[in-house]
Amino acid sequence: MSDLFIGGAWSPAATGRSFPTLNPADGTVITTCAEAGPADVDRAVGAAREAADAWAAHPEHLRARLLWRVADLIEANAEELAELESRDSGQLLGVAREVSVPGTAEHFRYFAGWCTKIQGAVLPVAFPDTLHYTRREPVGVCALITPWNFPLMIAAWKLAPALACGNTVIIKPAEQTPLSTVRLVELMSEAGFPPGVVNLLTGGPGTGRALAAHPAVDKISFTGSTEVGRSLVSAAAGGLKRLTLELGGKAPSIIAADADLDAAVAGNLTGALFHSGQVCAAYARFYVDRKRADEFTEKMAAGAAALRIGPGDDPASWLGPLVSEEHLRSVDAHVRGAVYEGADLVGGGRRVDRPGFFYEPAVFAGVTDDMAIAREEVFGPVIPVLAYDDPDELVARANALEYGLAASIWTRDLSTAHRLAARIRAGAIFINMIHVPDAATTWGGYKASGWGREMGPYAIDAYTEVKGVWTHLGPGSR
């Protein structure tokens, strides 16, 4: 049984309620977690509010040491964290070891370096004998709500910059995958954060809504679906809370006529099927020159069929399970719907006959822009191939959806690549490579894919307020 962490102490939920978290590789219960209710939300927000002023005044170099210490503890407990991440989310153990855990440590180290470098500026103003300068100050109490696909690393994307900027936090992991975040908070407590600076609430959507609506929460940072993001906007609107939202995506991948097709197939298989397609920036609609579309589709289908499907702790597995029975049914409904609309299912598209939530990657040919499989976020191992005749039509087709998180371009012509990159409305463009974000750069979406940016110096903007200070220096000033 996992408890809540509020004000520096672990405790059960006020109601005594709990919920199970499952292993998606076999559907069994791993453990239960406390389900936070309104009274727990009040306690956590109160603890964060009480600690806010002292933490904001905490010397920057000491904040940096604490964040660096967390990174050290993550590395010291790397294998345990990787196994938790794999067991709870279905993530391949190799991915957890090589991507999620090192990426988590890297984010804490990167933002530890920012603690002593957050600064304002002296700005010239029109008024004579006037000094004007700006200060960057913490937003205050931040509620951080994370998704189930990369729970550990996305927690770090939010925790590290929020704390580096002097905010206090309440983190609420997705109810499907809370365990690695619980362990991370244990390590943060061990690192020595003062009581109330870091708080943890586990629970379902009601817990997130209560945090969003709470009058003493100053900021919400949420990663998840566009639908839930819109609901959080409504919940936070009354208090005019600051919001950072990283939401859904339907990333186009453009395969130009001159692309190295074998390299494009290899890159797009990974881009589409990494973590079984449960990635917000997954390549999810594939625009291929008509002269090469059949060859691309056949090679993608053959490559997908050759990938070994199995549990995350099996070193031979390339595709792990989907996160839940509910999500598997959603993915399968999209596949069945595409067949009904007339798309040609070239390969896969079936549940694997074994315990757990495994699904064969589905490759479609003959897809058109008006089909749901080309417009809606599936968040699973589905590859719809759309042919094009005129390269000039690509930008309009790529930009036609409400999403704008990421896009991919495969071509040998860098002029083509950079012209397309400039015109596609998405927050990240990957040219001849897979979607790999980095702590030092920007991450976030256009349009319905979100508000604001995470990572790099842009995260400092997300977690600080800018204050202007004016001083009259004329006669009479002292």
Q: What is the DSSP string of 280-329?
A: TT-EEEEEEEHHHHHHHHHHHHHHHHHSPB--TT-TT-SB---S-HHHHH
In the predicted structure, residue 474 carries a pLDDT above the cut 90:
no
Q: Is 246 an annotated catalytic residue?
A: yes
Residues 6+ positions from 326 with CB-CB distance below 8 Å: none
CB-count burial class (<10 Å; 0-12, 13-18, 19+) for 2: buried
Give CA torsion, residues 433, 439, 441, 443, to 10 deg: 80
- The pLDDT tens digits for 3-13 are 999 999 999 99
Catalytically annotated residue among 35, 85, 246, 360: 246
Residue 452: per-residue pLDDT: 96
pLDDT beyond 70 at 390: yes
CA angle, corner 238, sides to 237 and 240, nearest 5?
Answer: 60
Distance between CA atoms of 417 and 424, rounded to whole angstroms? 11
- Which tokens hold the place of 250? 């339907």
Residue 58: is its pLDDT beyond 60?
yes
CA distance 387 to 255: 10
pLDDT for 385:
98
Q: What is the pLDDT of residues 93-143, one digit of tens each?
A: 999 999 999 999 999 999 999 999 999 999 999 999 999 999 999 999 999
Q: How many CB atoms lie within 10 A of CB 315?
A: 9
Question: What tens digit of pLDDT does each residue of 217-268 get?
Answer: 999 999 999 999 999 999 888 889 999 999 999 999 999 999 999 999 999 9
User: Which of 280, 360, 377, 454 is labelled catalytic?
Assistant: 280
The answer to whether 33 is a known catalytic residue is: no
Mean pLDDT of the 18-38 span: 97
- pLDDT at 1 (0 to 100): 82
Distance in angstroms (rounded) separating the CA atoms of residues 79 and 101: 9
Q: What is the largest CA-CA distance in the chain?
A: 85
According to the model, what pLDDT value does residue 478 have?
58
CA separation, residue 253 to residues 62, 78, 200, 399 (Å): 44, 34, 38, 12
DSSP state of 427: S
| Average pLDDT, integer, range 362-386 | 98
